[in-house]
Each structure stands twice: as structure tokens, then as C-alpha cells.
Amino acid sequence: MLMRFDPFRDIDRVSDHLARQSRTLLAMDAVRDENEVIIYIDVPGVAVDDIDVSVEKNELTVTVDRRWSDDGKEILSSERPQGSFSRRIVLSDALDLDRLAAKTSNGVLTISIPVAERSKPRRIDVSTSGGDETIDTTASDG
């Protein structure tokens, strides 16, 4: 059975509330390799239908709605955040936003954004504008 009044839990709750104000409820990690940027956002307890991912110009917005129903039961404790939460991420023009993909697994939303072909490093061939030109790299004496 849960106790309704626990002064230590109330102190913990107040300190957690103050600490939570300085951090986001949608914690994020992002990594990049030469082909894509991958963003991981924690969305525990959120159904896929309650996740909205949108992109406008170069701004990615993730909005989640986390709610639970008490089904008429008496609530003894309610510490998990509920409501609508969003996260905005400004993206580089070097990314191909038309090929953005999102999936969720085990409470983590994974967003993959390919690097645009025009932004990938590439080798440029150098040609001459006339006949065969060679560069002599031997040292001459005098």
C-alpha cells in the first residue's frame, strides 16, 4: 500500500521540479557521419499516434502528447510529466530534408536526415587549358 503523506518524498518532488525546469522533457542526442545526421529523442510512454514530426524551411519540430487515464481510480501518486511537449531543432542547409525519416522503438524516436549530395565532400579533377603541361620537379644546378 502506498502512503499518501511522505515529507521526504515531497522534498524530493520540489527539488526535482526545480531541477527539471532547467532541462527539457524531450531529451535529445544527435550524431553525424558523412552520410547522415541521426537525432535520438526520448519519448517514453508515448504512443506513435501521439508523436508529430514536422519540418518547415530548416526547422524540425517534434511534438508529443503524453497522457494517461485514471479510469475513475483514485490517484495516489502522479510524478510522470503529462501534457503536450515540443522540441524545435534548427537544421543546416547541408541536409536533405525531403528524405527525412522517423521511427520509434523502445521509447526512443529516431530521426534520420541524409546529408545532401551537394554538401558531401567530393574530388574535383583538375585539367589543363592547352597542350600537355608537365611540371618539372627536378632541381637544377646553377
What's the pLDDT at 1?
43
Residues linked to residue 123 through DSSP beta bridges, in sequence order: none
Residues linked to residue 65 through DSSP beta bridges, in sequence order: 84
Top CATH class, 22-67+81-116: mainly beta
Among residues 25, 26, 24, 21, the alpha carbon closest in space to that of 39 is found at 26
The pTM score is 0.68
Residue 129's contacts (CB-CB under 8 Å, 6 or more residues apart) are none
Listed as ranges, residues in the chain with pLDDT below 70 are 1-10, 14, 16-24, 130-142
Strand order in the sheet with 28-32: 28-32, 36-42, 108-114, 101-105
Residues 71-86 as b or e (16 or more Cβ within 10 Å = b): eeeeeeeeeeeeeebe
What's the pLDDT at 24?
56
Q: What is the rounded distance in angstroms from the CA atom of residue 4 to the CA atom of residue 73?
A: 15
